[in-house]
């Protein structure tokens, strides 16, 4: 019995990962990462940093990326529900400037693998959300960059019109800036 399913996203390299949930009267068990099994899915990068983000409803974090040391990310919502967005910012990509989004939640256990070369952001849909993500490179504050969440050229269909943003995210430039 397979313990993992991966569905290719519309953007090259993005994968929606659906781990198997083993549930019974006691609760449930899910394997959230297994290097060999994920490598078999095509996620061959080594993860070198894990992060946890806790946010309240309508908080939008992103769209973030690193310029010289891009990070691939495996994103997983362990409490609540988020609307997770990946934007292709690879200059030579046929899908440059395109985006895709998936709902990740503690109920569905879905994960989103976003390869290096993408901007990433998420919006909290539930009262609170705890998001964990594995990264393929370490975070370097001096390499941090981003794109405005409401960039008209991207036309991302966020499920809220007035999100809660950090001061930093309110000042992010447009993609073509």
Instruction: Specify whether 38 is catalytic.
Output: no
What H or E segment, with its residue span, contains residue 79? strand 73-79
Instruction: Provide Rg for the chain, Cα atoms.
Output: 16
Q: Which of 38, 64, 110, 120 is catalytic?
A: 64
Instruction: Please tell me which residue in 38, 83, 109, 133 is annotated as part of the active site.
Output: 133
What residue has token string 């693998």?
113
| Cβ(135)–Cβ(71) below 8 Å | yes
110 is annotated as an active-site residue: no
Q: Using CB atoms within 10 Å of the CB of residue 65, give its burial: 0 to 12 exposed, 13 to 18 middle, 19+ buried.
A: buried
Q: Measure the CA–CA gap between 137 and 141, rounded to whole angstroms.
A: 12
Please identify every residue annotated as catalytic.
64, 133
């Amino acid at each position: 019995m397979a313990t993992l399913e991966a569905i290719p996203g519309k953007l090259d390299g993005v994968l929606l990962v659906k781990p198997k949930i083993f549930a019974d009267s006691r609760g449930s068990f899910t394997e959230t990462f297994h290097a060999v099994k994920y490598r078999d899915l095509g996620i061959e990068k080594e993860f070198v940093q894990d992060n946890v983000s806790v946010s309240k409803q309508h908080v939008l974090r992103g769209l973030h990326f690193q310029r010289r040391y891009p990070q691939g990310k495996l994103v997983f919502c362990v409490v609540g529900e988020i609307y997770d967005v990946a934007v292709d910012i690879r200059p030579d990509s046929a899908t440059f400037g395109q985006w895709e989004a998936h709902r990740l939640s503690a109920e569905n256990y879905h994960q989103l693998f976003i390869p290096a070369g993408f901007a990433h952001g998420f919006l909290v849909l539930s009262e609170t959300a705890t998001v964990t993500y594995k990264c393929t490179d370490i975070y370097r504050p001096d390499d941090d960059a981003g794109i405005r969440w409401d960039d008209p050229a991207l036309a991302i269909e966020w499920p809220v019109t007035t999100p809660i943003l950090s001061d930093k995210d309110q000042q992010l430039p447009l993609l073509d800036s």
